[in-house]
Structure 1
């Protein structure tokens, strides 16, 4: 990817849902190859179109007219943060994290799978701390996960 391309963060609108779902699908597949998805691609697309974009604070990263990232805030929960695999390492995740902290200055929580070590490093670099580990019995994937929390005044 060219570093010359400007990446804009903006609130998602209904027409962004399909492209945002495609980013989610590509990112999940690349980052979590051992995690079994409980829903089909079409079900993921419908969920993002019918629930995520219209009902949650959904942000997208756009570069060169294409959606390359997705972030969803649901109260203090950072419920989604996905980047197109080709756009990892370009600072978009850092920008999303700054935006999330600015939008939720009282603190944030999130869940990620225990197998997703790159995500652990990313969140810890941004001042999040692991506060709970589970065996996955409460998530649809039945995959062991970890809850992270960030509090203002913490590093990051």
Structure 2
């Protein structure tokens, strides 16, 4: 159900990113399909990217070390615990995880809060391409 992404997964990953962007009204439309594909290829080549699949690709998580770069699911896969599957695999590999999410992305904030992430910083958006305020979140493994 979860496996390492390969270059052949880039079109599916790009399509998931494009669909989320298209369906998210507050998100600026900055990237062409070719740029989405190039970004997906970058995630596969330069990050640890894991794909969740059934008969089709359902979602993916990319991380660079402890930094989660992307976690996206197709709309039909949301709210079913599948994002948690991807995230739990990353948690098992790291003692700490960090990520950014946009302040406008309330559903992501609720998801990450349920998964034990806490806010450690806010920005006004001047430091990201979208120019949207964001949050930096962290999760730390419980000491044993």
If the length of structure 2 is used for normalisation, what is the TM-score?
A: 0.94
Q: 1:122 aligns with which of 93, 111, 123?
A: 111
CA offsets per residue over residues 48-78 of structure 1, 9 Å max, x none? 12x11112101111111x1110110111101
In the TM superposition, what are the counterparts of 1:1-156 in structure 2 within 5 Å? 8-30=1-23, 32-49=24-41, 51-64=42-55, 66-104=56-94, 106-153=95-142
- CA–CA distance in 2 between the matches of 1:75 and 1:132? 19
CA offsets per residue over residues 84-115 of structure 1, 9 Å max, x none? 011112211010110110111x2000000000
CA offsets per residue over residues 121-146 of structure 1, 9 Å max, x none? 00000000011111000000000100
Question: SS at 2:10's partner residue?
Answer: helix
- CA–CA distance in 2 between the matches of 1:28 and 1:98? 25
Query: Unaligned stretches of 5+ in structure 1?
Result: 1-7
- CA–CA distance in 1 between the matches of 2:52 and 2:115? 19
Moved over 6 A (4+): none
Higher relative contact order (CA 8 A, sep 6+): 1
- CA–CA distance in 2 between the matches of 1:16 and 1:26? 16
- Number of positions where the alignment pairs a residue of Structure 1 with one of Structure 2: 143
Alignment correspondent of 1:4:
none
